[in-house]
Amino acid sequence: MLNLLAAHPQQRYTLSEIARDLHLNKATLHAILGALTDEGYLVREPGAKSYALGPALVALGNSAVSTFPAAECAVPEMRSLTDDLGLDCVASAAISDEIVILARAGVPRPFGVYIQAGQRLPLAPPLGAVFVAWSDDATIERWLSKLGSPPKKATTDHFRRAVGAVRTRGYSVGLEGSRRPRRARTATVGGSLEEEIRGVQLEEYALIDIEPKESYFVNHIGAPAFGPDGEVAIALFLIGFTGTVSGAEVERDANRLLQAAGRVTKEIHGRAPGS
In this predicted model, what pLDDT tens digit does every residue of 259-272 receive, in sequence order? Answer: 999 999 999 999 99
Could you report the per-residue pLDDT of 209-231, keeping only the tens digit for each?
999 999 999 989 999 999 999 99
DSSP category for residue 138: H
Confidence of residue 73 (pLDDT cuts 50, 70, 90): very high
- Cα angle 155, 159, 162; round to 5: 140
Confidence of residue 120 (pLDDT cuts 50, 70, 90): confident
Residue pair 233/270 in contact (Cβ under 8 Å)? The answer is yes
Looking at the domain that runs over 68-267, which CATH code has it been given?
3.30.450.40
pLDDT of residue 103: 87
Please give the residue that has the higher pLDDT: either 47 or 67.
47
Average pLDDT taken over every residue of the chain? 85
Span 235-262, mean pLDDT? 95
Residue pair 199/147 in contact (Cβ under 8 Å)? The answer is no
pLDDT of residue 7: 72
CATH 1.10.10.10 fits 2-59, yes or no: yes
Rounded Cα distance between 105 and 132, Å, is 24
pLDDT of residue 227: 94
- Its sign, for the CA torsion 48, 49, 50, 52, is positive
Rounded Cα distance between 50 and 128, Å, is 34
Residue pair 231/203 in contact (Cβ under 8 Å)? The answer is no
**pLDDT above 70 as % of the chain:** 85
Domain with CATH 3.30.450.40 in the chain: 68-267
17-21, 51-55, 179-183, 263-267: least confident range:
179-183
Radius of gyration of the chain (CA): 20
- Cα angle 7, 218, 257; round to 5: 80
Task: Decide: helix, strand or coil at residue 174.
Answer: strand
Domain with CATH 1.10.10.10 in the chain: 2-59
Please give the residue that has the higher pLDDT: either 2 or 181.
2
Claim: this prediction has a pTM higher than 0.75: yes
Could you report the per-residue pLDDT of 1-30, keeping only the tens digit for each?
888 887 777 789 999 999 998 899 999 999
Rounded Cα distance between 181 and 183, Å, is 6
Confidence of residue 117 (pLDDT cuts 50, 70, 90): confident
Could you report the per-residue pLDDT of 144-167, keeping only the tens digit for each?
999 877 778 888 999 999 999 999
